[in-house]
Amino acid sequence: MYEDLSLAQARALLEWQVELGATEAIGDEPIDRFELASVQAAPVSDPASPVAASPGPVAPEPAAGAQDAVAAARQAAGAAGTIEALRVAMESYEHCDLRQGARNLVFSDGQPGARVMIVGEAPGRDEDIAGRPFVGRAGQLLDRMFAAIGLGRGEGGGLAPLYITNVMPWRPPQNRDPRPEEIAMMVPFLERHIELAAPDFLISMGNTSCQAILGRKGITRLRGNWAEAMGRPVLPMFHPAYLLRNPVMKREAWSDLLSLRARLSQDG
Ligand code: URA
């Protein structure tokens, strides 16, 4: 059926499947995964051993791959001496599968060195296409929210600078939540990013960002309460995508913005 496809057609077909959320290529022959599971699970035992007949408790698999991924991220991030070098290091980081399905690495926007750095969750479709964070509907709301207290990512416009990034630089398929191991492997990059950008204040937007920065979730309880992490004050806030779905919560977001504005004028 697919033999007559040109390279361009095959590529377009593949991109379409990725767009639909496909994350794995499958072969022509069906695989009986039940059969496979029983073969893999069969214990390798020494019949001479007195305990060979008893399977006993199964020790959890050591997550060696995950540890390697975090160690590799730590090494690559630590070696980056500038923000541009960090971006290049993330481009070449191969342990995160999300990069396979993403069009672009979405690194940051705004001005490094700004007093306020926002950390969002992960790019969505619009950001994946544009290669910039927060350019879709949630991003437009974010821009309006911060402009209301005099901050903006663009040059000029009378707004003080803002710097914006995400925990995950690649779009998860179908915008699913990033998995804990995916977050864990990007934390060393985020930490280094924050060190290099050196903001006075961090805004942690939503649960994924709170998980990465504060090590915990529960944005409804966390929001509005200043914390300290990664060497600076952190203000957890509702994610603008959540505010689009729950406009009544904008009142809380406004109160958080006022709290940020107060800190900026107090400590500035
Ligand atoms: N949501 C995020 O958390 N980040 C983006 O860049 C876009 C939407």
Task: Report pLDDT for 110.
Answer: 98
Q: How far away, in angstroms, is 133 Cα from ligand 1 center?
A: 6
**Domain assignment of residue 141, yes or no:** yes
Pair of tokens at residue 165: 């990034």
Position 30 confidence tier, pLDDT thresholds 50, 70, 90: low
With a 6 Å cutoff on the Cβ, whether 207 touches ligand 1 is no
Eight-state DSSP code of residue 99: H
Region 26-37: mean pLDDT is: 58
> pLDDT tens digit string along 173-230?
999 999 999 999 999 999 999 999 999 999 999 999 999 999 999 999 999 999 999 9
CA of 209 to the centre of ligand 1 (A): 10
Predicted confidence band of residue 44 (pLDDT cuts 50, 70, 90): very low
The size of the chain, in residues, is 268
- Flag whether 76 is in a domain: no
Q: What is the CATH number of the domain that holds 179?
A: 3.40.470.10
Residue from 105, 121, 204 whose mutation best tests the ligand 1 pocket (most atoms within 8 A of CB) = 121
Ligand 1 mutation target, pool 109, 125, 134, 205, most atoms within 8 A of CB:
134
CA 163 to ligand 1 centroid distance, Å = 13
Q: Is residue 136 part of a domain?
A: yes
Mean residue pLDDT of the chain comes to 86
Is 123 near ligand 1, meaning CB less than 6 Å away?
yes
In this predicted structure, the answer to whether residue 130 has a pLDDT above a threshold of 70 is: yes
Q: Is the pLDDT of residue 26 over 70?
A: no
Quote the number of domains for the chain. 1
By C-alpha distance, which of 77, 82, 70, 117 is closest to 231? 117
Lowest mean pLDDT across 4-8, 24-28, 158-162, 177-181: 24-28
80 is a domain residue = no
Q: Is the shortest distance between the CB of 121 and ligand 1 below 6 Å?
A: yes
% of the chain residues with pLDDT over 70:
76
Is the pLDDT confidence value at 254 over 70?
yes
Residues 6+ apart with CB under 8 A from 170: 96, 98, 99, 101, 102, 105, 106, 122, 123, 128
For residues 161-172, average pLDDT: 98
Alpha helices in 105-168 (DSSP H): 125-130, 137-147
* Assigned domain for 123 exists: yes
Calculate mean pLDDT across residues 221-242: 98
Query: Does the beta carbon of 134 lie inside 6 Å of ligand 1?
Result: yes
Residue 30 lies in a domain: no
Residue 64 lies in a domain: no
- Residue 96 inside a domain? The answer is no
| Spatial distance between the Cα atoms of 114 and 116, rounded to a whole number of angstroms | 5
The answer, yes or no, to whether residue 56 has pLDDT greater than 50, is no
Tell me: the pLDDT tens digits for 85-111? 999 999 999 999 999 999 999 999 999
Question: pTM for the whole thing?
Answer: 0.78
Domain that includes residue 143, residue range: 103-266
